[in-house]
Structure 1
Amino acid sequence: MLTRVRALLAKAESTEFEAEAETFTAAAQSLMARHSIDAAMLAEGSGGRSGAEEPQVRRLSVDAPYEVPKLMLLHVVASANRCRSIWHREPGFATVLGFTPDLRAVEVLFTSLLVQAVTAMTRAGSRRDHSGRSRTRSFRQSFLTAYAQRIGERLLDATGEAVRRASAETGRDLLPVLAARNQAVDDKVARLFPTLDTFGPSAIGNREGWIAGLVAADQAVLDTRPKVPEKSS
C-alpha cells in the first residue's frame, strides 16, 4: 500500500497538469484513509490493542525558512489522520504521535504537499512594493500559511467522506472505534509531554501571498469523490 501511495504522490509532484495532480493525490489519500480505517477495525475486532498497536512516535524535520507555516501544514495533516504533532523549536524538528498506519500517511502526505507548496510558491516568483523594496518574504510567509489552512479544511472533508463510505460499506458505526484511537493518542501525548505551550499563526502581512496560497492549495489538495481502488483477488 505504501509503495503505491508513494508512486501516486510522486506522479502528483512531477506532473505539469493540475487535474492529474489532483487525481493522483486523491487516489493516494483514499488508499491511506481506508487502510487506516481497516487497521482500526482489525484492532477493535481482535479485542483491544496489543503492545505493537499502541500509538508510536516519529520525528520529522521542519526546516528553515518559514518554519511556522510549514509546521502548520504538518499539524493539519496530522490532525486529519488522527495524529498529534509537537514542535521542538531549538532542535528544529517535530514529534508526531499516532498509530503506525496513520503515521505513515502523515509522513508521505506531508512530504508531498510540502514539495507541491514550495514548487508553487517558487513558481510565483519574487515580489517588490512600489518603492522597489522586497516583499518576497512576507509574500511567501502568507502563501504557506494560507496553503496550510486550506489544506486542513480539505483534508478534514476527505477524512469524513472516507469514514462515511467505509461505514456504508461495512454497515457499522465507525466513529466510536476511531474516537477510541484518538483518545489513545491524546493519552500518550499527555504522558510524554505533560506541559505544552500552544501558538497560532502570525498575522497575515501580504494579501497577495494569502490569495495565491489558497489557490495553490485548491489545486494541490484532494477531491473527496474518487472511489477507493478495489483490491485484487
Structure 2
Amino acid sequence: MLDHDALLARVRKLLAKAEDPAVTEAEAESYNTKAAQLIARYGIDRAMLAAAGTSADEITTIKISLDNPYSRDKAGLLTNIAHPLRCRALLHRWGQTVTAVTVFGFRSDLERVELLFTSLLLQATTQLTRVRPVNAFRGESLAAYRRTWLHGFAGAVHVRLQKSEANATQEHSASQTGGQSAELVLRDRNALVKDAYDDQFGNLQTAPPRRLSGSGYLDGHVAGERANLGTTGLRGGRAAIPAR
C-alpha cells in the first residue's frame, strides 16, 4: 500500500511520461489513466485503514475560495469532482457570484478533491485561452461559449471519476481474502458524510438548474475526457481564467 508521498511521486512520473512529446497518443492516455487509478486506489486504501481502526480519517470540511470570471462554472467543476469522491459541496453566493465552496467529507477524500480541482482547473484554464466558438461570426459571445465549455468539461470529469472509483472498488474487492467489504465501507462513509451535511444544511433548498446558451458543451466535454486526472503536486496557485 502506497503512502501519500510515494503515491504523488508515482503520479508525477506517470504524468511526466505522458507529457513527453516522443510518446504516442495511446501511450500518453495509458499513463494518464494509470495516474487516475492510483488516486482512486489511494482513497480506498485510506478508507479501509480507517474502517479497520489502524488510521484516523475523520469527517471535516475545507473551504475553497473562488473568483470571477466564471465563478459559478468553477464551482460546478469543483462539485463534479467532489461528488464521485463521496463528498458534499455547499456554495457560498453573493448575487450571481460564487465566492467560495465548502466541501464536506473524510479528510483523505477532501485531500483528493483539492488536489484534483487545482490540477483540472489549471488544465481547463490553459485550454480556454486557445478555444473559440465556431459560431462567433453569428454573434455568439466568447463568455457564453466558455461557460458551456466549462460545463461540458466538468461533466466529462464527473463521469471519468465515477468510473475510476468504481473500478478501484471492484479491484479491491476482488483481491480481498477477508475482512470488511470495500463496497460496504465506502457506502457507510458516503452515508456518514450525507448525515453530517444534512445535520447542518439539510434545510437548504437546491438551486434550480442553470440555462446556458453557448455552444461549447461538446468541445468542453471532449477536453474533459482527455484531461489528466492527476496532478504534479499539492501546492501552487490556481490560474485565473481570462474574462475575454
Q: State if a TM-score over 0.5 links the two structures.
A: yes
* CA deviation string 1:132-163 (max 9, x = no partner): x4610111011001111111111111111111
Instruction: State the alpha-carbon separation in 2 of the partners of residues 10 and 150 from structure 1.
Output: 19
Distance 1:121 1:23, change over 3 A: farther
Q: 5 Å matches for 1:44-123?
A: 44-46=51-53, 52-90=56-94, 92-123=99-130
Aligned partner of 1:181 among 184, 189, 192: 189
Distance 1:137 1:181, change over 3 A: same
* 1:196 has 2:196 as partner: no
Identity rate, percent? 34
Q: Measure how far apart 1:204 and its partner are.
A: 3.2
Distance 1:37 1:187, change over 3 A: same
Moved more, 15-24 or 81-90: 15-24
Instruction: State the alpha-carbon separation in 1 of the partners of residues 149 and 26 from structure 2.
Output: 21
Unmatched 5+ stretches in structure 1: 224-233
Instruction: State the alpha-carbon separation in 1 of the partners of residues 156 and 200 from structure 2.
Output: 30
The two structures have a TM-score, normalised by structure 2, of: 0.77
Q: Measure how far apart 1:4 and its partner are.
A: 2.6
Task: Tell me if the contact between 2:61 and 2:105 (Cα under 8 Å) persists in the aligned partners.
Answer: yes
Distance 1:38 1:84, change over 3 A: same
Q: SS at 1:89's partner residue?
A: strand
Q: SS at 2:223's partner residue?
A: helix
Instruction: State the alpha-carbon separation in 2 of the partners of residues 206 and 134 from structure 1.
Output: 7
The two structures have a TM-score, normalised by structure 1, of: 0.80
Unmatched 5+ stretches in structure 2: 231-244
Instruction: Quote the residue 1:4 is aligned against.
Output: 9
Aligned partner of 1:158 among 164, 184, 189: 164
Distance 1:36 1:129, change over 3 A: closer
Aligned partner of 1:169 among 171, 175, 180: 175
Give the RMSD, CA atoms, in angstroms.
Answer: 2.9
Letter in 2 for 1:140: R
